[in-house]
Structure 1
């Protein structure tokens, strides 16, 4: 049974990926009508939240940041248990979650518009951002605190109410986050809606603005529904990310970065590296160094502070990794450890033919394909040849090559001499092509997505 398998039409359970016999939470999904009622209650609370003013919103978001910090150990332990996140990464995610709320706690004081001169005559022209109303947020399980926070905090900062529909596998984390947030906010302003597709569809059909992170297939359906209603929507839908290594790169350092980006959290990040493109003479030394680095990655209990690669989220995810490498030359990994939990060894393969699943789809596990390229131009073509375009890492000591990569790589983010993983929450986040739809997330640009600009004309009642 998967980590969030239905027990009946409305009953679910979330289980520990490292110990599937450990049931973290049993919960019921309320259904579509209840989901719409939840949105309506949030809409009723939103007006008062906006009228409370910038100082009240800033103080509330700051209080959430402080409460997250105070509960850091508990939250990290819950992420370890419910979604199998290694403890070191879980602690880092909780720290980032607090920082996100603190960052957005200052933004209610930001300017929300501008004053313009009229084209002719007396009066004023004003532009002003105003909240949409209710923000419907649909989030995945892999960052159970950070992703809901980097969506909810800017939405709340500009005066929206929020309804969060988390992935079933991360429901306990979402409910605990809600308890913290709700202590600082007025009733009804932030609500968690448990459930799955039924509740998610209802949320998209009833909200005033929608933000989604998850699979490409579901994300495209969310976009179609939201756009048919004429409401703003953003969708982050994963990646098929490449690491490009040039012959002048520090191969050992590049291998360490790439191994971390392949195997960290069992590759269950949309920014994980799944294709490694070695240019020219870099191929042979990189093959050896990367295989050795992956074999050295600590795999095991996510509660162990030394663990880097913990379990996959469920048996289906683990089986997808095993199936994806079948028939290919395995340079490292390719095995499933004995014992409880849904583990797979960090894996590097070679010889994947054009059209192979690893080169066309996001497998979402600790596995990558090694590919040769004749030149940087060839590597760029390979990197750009897939449907997604989230992030690329480029490893080189040549500044000209680095600058050339920035201009030619068709991804929303390019990281030079750094892992493909890693997000700066104060900068825009998003990709190109099938990776993203709509406005960027994070940073100040998120405030613009969660608000609409209105133009006001103020003309004098009497003309002298």
Structure 2
């Protein structure tokens, strides 16, 4: 059943960005069928046609850079610099996957005996169901749909309600053949209907929803990948450049209000690094205010801060709600947080982190690995041996040395460990493999039996 969907500017809640009817379960099912009808023709058009379509799409997005940057800034509250960076990344992803249709799709093998050929070949699944969040309203949809389309699938995109305008405008600019990319505005009802019809599913969102997505796909025997965020740690060793580390951490905690699955939420200071890092963080974060996506997010963050302080935590930086229009909050770092507080175990998805002491590197690694949401981790040290040793022992899916945890290289595999991710990695060559299935073909001369 369709309902009315409204998306507002989080920096100005009176600013209605878009209002429309949701697709509903029936509309979503119809979109899947349109994509399914279009898929054979999209595959048969060949590598050249798919490559050209993605190349044109990249040019169209780049040509609308100012418009899209402003729309991202308005609809999801992303600072203009970060919105422009996301736009540039989106273009680069499209150009990268525009070459993928020409990549090898298999190999030729020698038969065990006699004449003939043994072939392996990767083929598309059919209709890719893509469920995406609001925090990267252009880049995440594109890093899912571009490899899906490049390999001959068609796609149905169900964006987060808060990023509906961005998704619809992106689809218009891509200007793909009818049925090749369908966008279904909506929420849980549309997501469930998409899971019921898609042939392969890629999801990015919360852990709770991701678990439900995985279970639904497993029941149907549908390939699925689910990226579910992280409670990411940063290890700062005593020999680190403390000022540089604090600058990296301030960005990893507060960049786009910490609304990134790779944001740092646990800062682990080793030995003598603790006090100077505490002071440097307070200085690096002073005077900042960031907008979060909606009122509920701000209330959730404020509640976590208040409960931690009530339990004995101390403010290192931030902690206030600026009295201004929009859903703003000061980036906040707390220390002495009670060991049983949810901040140490759960993702709050905002500019909020805890500072923890560790006696040595062994204890720091144990603290970092203790959390089940192991997506990204950073290590800050001038000692290359120590940094590499830590990288070998940390269980996170992505480890960055002397850099913020909140960074992604779109041509390399993206994903976490334990509860942070399920299924195959996203991006790069891994994405091309996820959106295809391997087939083994035996070719014998004259149709003879073996």
* 1:462 Cα deviation after fit: 6.2
String of CA shifts for 1:123-176, please: whole Å, max 9, x gaps.
Answer: 111100000000000000000000000000000000000000000000000000
User: Corresponding residue for 1:366?
Assistant: 351
RMSD over aligned CA atoms reads: 1.2
The reply on whether 1:227 has 2:207 as its aligned counterpart is: no
User: Corresponding residue for 1:147?
Assistant: 140
Counterpart selection for 1:324 from 282, 293, 304: 304
Using the alignment, how far apart are the partners of 1:431 and 1:37 within structure 2? 34
Using the alignment, how far apart are the partners of 1:37 and 1:67 within structure 2? 27
User: Corresponding residue for 1:196?
Assistant: 187
Name the SS of the counterpart of 1:325 in structure 2: helix
User: Corresponding residue for 1:457?
Assistant: 442
Using the alignment, how far apart are the partners of 1:247 and 1:400 within structure 2? 14
Counterpart selection for 2:406 from 405, 418, 421: 421
User: Corresponding residue for 1:401?
Assistant: 386
**Given that residues 2 and 23 in structure 2 are in contact (C-alpha distance below 8 angstroms), is that contact kept between their aligned partners in structure 1?**
no
The reply on whether 1:315 has 2:316 as its aligned counterpart is: no
**Given that residues 281 and 316 in structure 2 are in contact (C-alpha distance below 8 angstroms), is that contact kept between their aligned partners in structure 1?**
no
Q: How many residues align?
A: 444
* 1:30 Cα deviation after fit: 2.0
String of CA shifts for 1:196-223, please: whole Å, max 9, x gaps.
Answer: 0000001011000000000000000000
**Structure 1 residues 247 and 118, CA gap change in structure 2 (3 angstroms):** same
The reply on whether 1:131 has 2:111 as its aligned counterpart is: no
Name the SS of the counterpart of 2:400 in structure 1: strand
Name the SS of the counterpart of 2:81 in structure 1: helix
Using the alignment, how far apart are the partners of 2:340 and 2:400 within structure 1? 26
**Structure 1 residues 232 and 138, CA gap change in structure 2 (3 angstroms):** same
| Higher mean displacement: 355-364 or 85-94 | 355-364
Counterpart selection for 1:79 from 68, 72, 89: 72
Q: 5+ unaligned residues in a row in structure 1: which ranges? A: 1-7, 300-308
Name the SS of the counterpart of 1:444 in structure 2: helix
* 1:296 Cα deviation after fit: 4.7
Counterpart selection for 2:40 from 35, 38, 47: 47
Moved over 6 A (4+): none
Using the alignment, how far apart are the partners of 1:337 and 1:239 within structure 2? 27
The reply on whether 1:176 has 2:183 as its aligned counterpart is: no
Using the alignment, how far apart are the partners of 2:180 and 2:97 within structure 1? 16
String of CA shifts for 1:407-438, please: whole Å, max 9, x gaps.
Answer: 11010000000000111000000000110000
Using the alignment, how far apart are the partners of 1:405 and 1:10 within structure 2? 50
User: Corresponding residue for 2:177?
Assistant: 186
User: Corresponding residue for 2:61?
Assistant: 68
Name the SS of the counterpart of 2:328 in structure 1: coil
* TM-score normalized by the length of structure 1: 0.94
